[in-house]
Each structure stands twice: as C-alpha cells, then as structure tokens.
Amino acid sequence: MQQEYYDLDLERAILSSCIMSEEAYASIAGDISPKDFSLKAHQDIFKAVIACSNNKEPISVSFLRKHKKIDEQILAEILATPSMIDLPAYVNELREKSVKRQLLSFAHLLPTRINEDRAVSEIADEIGKEIFSITNRVNSRDIK
C-alpha cells in the first residue's frame, strides 16, 4: 500500500492521545471508526478504546486488554509515541487516507461489477450508490 493511503505514525499518535487522555478521546469520539485505521492491530486497539468508553471504564492499558487481544509490541510502540498533537488535524488526515483507501478498493472491484450479466442501468445505479456512500462520509465530516 502506498504511503499516501496510510500513515502509521499518525495512527499511533491518535491512539496514544486517546489512551493518555480520555478527554482527547471524547473530543473525537464518533469522528472516526476502527476501519479508518489501516493496521488491523490499530483497529483492534481503537475498538478496545471504544469499548472502555462505552462501558464507562478508564481508557487504560489494563482495561484495553479486557476488551480485545492486544498486540503488545504494537501497544508499546503506541505508548512510546508522543500524544501532544493537534488531534483534530490528525483525525482529519486519518479520515482522508481512509476514504482514499476505500475509493481505491472500490475501484479495484469495478471491472468485476461491470462484467456482471446485468443491465447497465442497474450496474451504474449500484456503482453510484457505493460512490455516494463513500463520498457522503467525506462531505458529512468536512474532509478537505
């Protein structure tokens, strides 16, 4: 995957901020989802952060481990990452990269969809709906 579609340092910084400060997580809760992270281990850690928050538990390493099997090496890298960042800007960049990955993934599926034995109007409608779904997420979250 090309660098323009992901940034592991950015992902680590966001996760570090969420783990180090529950207020930081609260400020971005709902703005991003686990699938916005490119690395599966980062997705799992963010799912655990969400679970802790939803259960009104501290967002701490001990509680994160209760909710998900955490890759300890990845967690150590995250905890070693500075958490003093411009979190809204980092989240915006993460979403932008996520949408680019989704568009790229969808683009790879287009030849298969186009070659299906269905009416062109039906195929075009389905493709349009999927593109709208992806781009609507961009528009609803003000990604630049």
Residues 76-100 pLDDT 10s:
999 999 988 899 999 999 999 999 9
Q: How far apart are CA 1 and CA 103, in angstroms?
A: 13
**pLDDT of 104:** 92
**Residue 44: its H or E element:** helix 40-54
Query: What domains, with CATH codes, occur in the chain?
Result: 3-140 (1.10.860.10)
Instruction: Supply the pLDDT for residue 144.
Output: 42
Q: What percent of the chain has pLDDT over 90?
A: 76
Helix, strand or coil, per DSSP, at residue 32: strand
Higher pLDDT, 113 or 62: 62
Residue 125 has pLDDT above 70, yes or no: yes
**pLDDT band, very low/low/confident/very high, at 4 (cuts 50, 70, 90):** confident
> What's the mean per-residue pLDDT of the chain?
91
- Residue range 51-80, pLDDT digits in tens: 999 999 999 999 999 998 899 999 999 999
- Burial of 129: CB neighbours in 10 Å, binned 0-12, 13-18, 19+: exposed
C-alpha dihedral, 69 to 74 to 77 to 78, nearest 10°? -50
Q: Work out the average pLDDT over 33-39.
A: 96
For residue 3, the model assigns a pLDDT of 65
